[in-house]
Homo-oligomer: A and B are copies of this chain.
Amino acid sequence: MAIGKKRTNNPDGMRRRVLDVAEDTFQARGYHASSLGDLMAAAGVTGGALHHHFPTKKALALAVIEERVAAAVRETWIDPVLAAPSAREGVRAVFEAVAEELEQQGYVRGCPLNNLAHELSLADDEFRLALARIFADWRRAIADKIRADQLGGGESAIDPERYAALTVAAYSGAMSMAKTSQDAGVLRECLKGVESFALSPPQGRLKRRRRVLPRPKVR
């Protein structure tokens, strides 16, 4: 350390700075491709400080998952959907907001939850369970919102769990493709698909009705 320099302990701030950098780097390069040396340099943190707050790389990643990834899903998905007038409108708003944000920033880094889920789910059961919990909370929030809409009379009798599962899956898969093609357009495409599901009448009626409809002429 430079002579004459004073030091001020700031454990919370230092922990936060490390998590900031780790969240960002794990998202951009993945867990295994991010070295602690890189993180230390980017965060301006020494090895001693890093090791003090996070004794192992796994502990750091676990903190990123439980504190940052979970919060990201909450902030971009759960809270907006719960605050929306309806589940359908909330889902549409999130899809469109994310698509627009990605198009403005010009590149797609993917969904932080899915990125880490793919890399770490099979590597370690603690990772897997922490990630699975976030998926479950995400789906439960959407299903709960659908149920609330149905109680209010504003939603058809679709299966809430099914709608939630399809929505999360469609978003996750669309982000996967968007990341691979570096094009957020597929998000909008998949949103339209999910919306048509949300608006379709319940399964039993649908099947019966379809029999009666005349075959559409195409081309």
Contact = CB atoms under 8 A, between A and B. Distances in A.
Q: Which of A30, A136, A207 has the most CB of B within 10 A?
A: A30
A33 interface: yes
B131 A180 contact: yes
A170 B165 CA distance: 9
A21 interface: no
Q: How many copies does the complex hold?
A: 2
Contacts of A200: 196-197, 199-201, 206
Contacts of A181: 132, 135-136
Contacts of A206: 196, 199-200
Interface string A77-88: 000000001100
Contacts of A19: none
Sort chain A's interface into a size bin. Answer: 35 or more
B162 A189 contact: yes
Contacts of A28: 122
Contacts of A193: 162-163, 165-166, 169, 197
A66 interface: no
B150 A218 contact: yes
Q: Which of A128, A169, A181, A197 has the most CB of B within 10 A?
A: A169
B182 A174 contact: no
A215 B154 contact: yes
Contacts of A166: 170, 189-190, 193-194
A-B pairs with lowest CB-CB distance, top 9: A154-B216, A169-B173, A166-B193, A172-B173, A32-B32, A173-B173, A200-B200, A118-B118, A150-B218
Given A153-B216, A162-B190, A169-B174, 13 more contacts: A85-B218, A135-B181, A152-B219, A153-B215, A154-B215, A157-B218, A165-B174, A169-B190, A169-B193, A172-B173, A172-B177, A197-B200, A200-B201
28 contacts: A30-B119, A30-B123, A85-B215, A109-B122, A110-B118, A110-B121, A115-B118, A118-B118, A119-B119, A128-B182, A148-B218, A152-B216, A152-B219, A157-B216, A157-B218, A163-B193, A169-B169, A169-B171, A169-B172, A170-B170, A172-B172, A172-B177, A173-B176, A176-B176, A193-B197, A196-B200, A199-B207, A200-B201
